[in-house]
Amino acid sequence: MSNLFSIFDPTTEINSLPMNWTSTVVGLLLIPTSIWLTPSRNSMALNLLMNKLHAEMKTILSKGDQNKGNSFIFTSLFLMILMNNFLGLFPYIFTSTSHLTLTLTLALPLWMTFMLFGWMKNTNHMFEHLVPQGTPTMLMPFMVIIETISNLIRPGTLAVRLTANMIAGHLLLTLLGNNGPTMSHTLLTVLIIAQILLLILESAVAIIQSYVFAILSTLYSSEVN
């Protein structure tokens, strides 16, 4: 007996190997090479988007040229998450970003890398972050605890935020779709219009959540420098 969350189960297998997770990289592999190599309207739009993100993230990381290349890590992360979010909106395509398996795999190594680099290379700077400037002496021990907990839960909040937003929209679309066969023609028309509007909203959520994940990762990286 399947439940509502069974739509997120990776069920396609070949020789006991789950194949649904291949959608994580297949989307990027299906992008025509002409988008990257041949000047066109699509390639110009993509290049404009990536240049805007690169400029914004480079500003967050540093104004110096020494960190110019670092932002490409986060723009690539944005593109990967965005592609997976959009693929999940198509019928019969597995939504990998709705699973903590993927989102934690992205968030946890990034956070651990930032923390290790910060504490090994900028130890004094990391200690300064535990006590915000202007904190009263009596509150300093509490602020250290609060800031430590805040740092520790960052990978979890990054992963859960993306997963929860992807799950919420897909569940709502599924709930509306399951009620379709029992509705009259008039209500069915209203339902179809509502699903189209919800699909447009989910497209916006896919973009926003990709941007939020990449920007927050960039901010966490900038704090350790």
Residues 95/88, Cβ–Cβ less than 8 Å: yes
* Cα separation, 71 vs 74, whole angstroms: 5
- Give Rg (Cα) of the chain: 21
pLDDT at 54: 81
* pLDDT, tens digit (0-9, with 9 covering 90-100), for 86-112: 888 887 777 888 888 889 999 999 999
Residue 38 tokens read as 């041949």
* Cα separation, 223 vs 115, whole angstroms: 10
* pLDDT, tens digit (0-9, with 9 covering 90-100), for 49-77: 778 888 888 887 774 444 445 677 888 88
Where is average pLDDT lowest: 33-47, 118-132, 175-189? 33-47
Where is average pLDDT lowest: 6-20, 33-47, 135-149, 167-181? 6-20
* pLDDT, tens digit (0-9, with 9 covering 90-100), for 162-195: 999 988 888 888 777 777 677 777 777 888 888 8
Residues 23/93, Cβ–Cβ less than 8 Å: yes
Q: Which residue has the tokens 């990286």?
A: 221
pTM: 0.79
